């Protein structure tokens, strides 16, 4: 069995370049000759590298490069990687995210299921908003740029960061946003952020206007 991490190694022997904030990835050692093999052995002895073996196939990771990668991307992996994880556990966790990304789960973007037409799964799954803690926090940041205030929702999501993945019933999620902003309608707008954020802001404002009008 070939180590599945090899599917994410670039031509210059770097792992996960495409999801690194600076595009550097994690440096790997390749045993291409006697000299490089001996150098690798010395580096292992000195603790400069670490081997990650899956299915009997091993990749050798430059430890300093890996730790720098994790530090640079700490916000992106909040709730996914935890203190105390081994190098192999961290890489396998990121590998799992990349595999989900191949299946349509873009962990660098917004939570999935914000709109019914972009939801996926069975009938029940299509009613859910699903994503990483950092995705939800990024969504809150984006909504705040349009005047929404969501301190309670932010706190609830942040307190769930150890879970990694979160899911909410879409209607319950929207209701929480509307409840926190039912007295802020004049301050809300839908002109800032990427198209999905503007669309969501507009939808929430319309629903809030309907709710306020219905209670008048």
Torsion sign over Cα 214, 205, 127, 173: negative
Torsion angles phi and psi, residue 87, rounded to 5:
-60, -45
pTM as predicted: 0.53
- Give the max Cα distance, the chain: 81
Q: What is the pLDDT of residues 94-114, one digit of tens each?
A: 877 666 555 444 555 688 888
Q: For the chain, which residues score pLDDT lower than 50?
A: 32, 103-105, 216
Q: Is 197 helix (H, G, I), strand (E, B) or coil?
A: helix
**pLDDT on residue 202:** 95
DSSP classification of residue 9: B
| Best CA proximity match to 166, nearest among 98, 81, 79, 74 | 79
């Amino acid at each position: 069995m070939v180590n599945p991490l090899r599917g994410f190694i670039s031509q210059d022997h770097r792992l996960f370049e495409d999801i690194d904030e600076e595009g550097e990835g994690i440096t790997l050692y390749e045993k291409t000759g006697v000299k490089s093999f001996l150098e690798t052995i010395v580096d292992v002895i000195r603790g400069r590298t670490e081997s990650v073996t899956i299915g009997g196939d091993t990749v050798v990771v430059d430890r300093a490069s890996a730790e720098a990668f994790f530090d640079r991307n700490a916000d992106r992996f909040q709730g996914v990687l935890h203190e105390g994880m081994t190098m192999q556990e961290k890489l396998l966790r990121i590998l799992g995210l990349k595999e989900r990304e191949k299946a349509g789960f873009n962990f660098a973007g917004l939570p999935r299921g914000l709109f019914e037409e972009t939801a996926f799964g069975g009938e029940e799954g299509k009613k859910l908003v699903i994503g990483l803690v950092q995705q939800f926090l990024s969504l809150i940041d984006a909504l705040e740029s349009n005047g929404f205030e969501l301190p309670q929702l932010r706190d609830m999501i942040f307190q769930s960061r150890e879970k990694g993945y979160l899911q909410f019933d879409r209607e319950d999620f929207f209701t929480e946003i509307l409840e926190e902003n039912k007295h802020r309608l004049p301050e809300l707008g839908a002109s800032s952020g990427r198209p999905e954020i503007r669309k969501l802001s507009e939808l929430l404002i319309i629903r809030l206007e309907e709710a306020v009008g219905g209670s008048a």
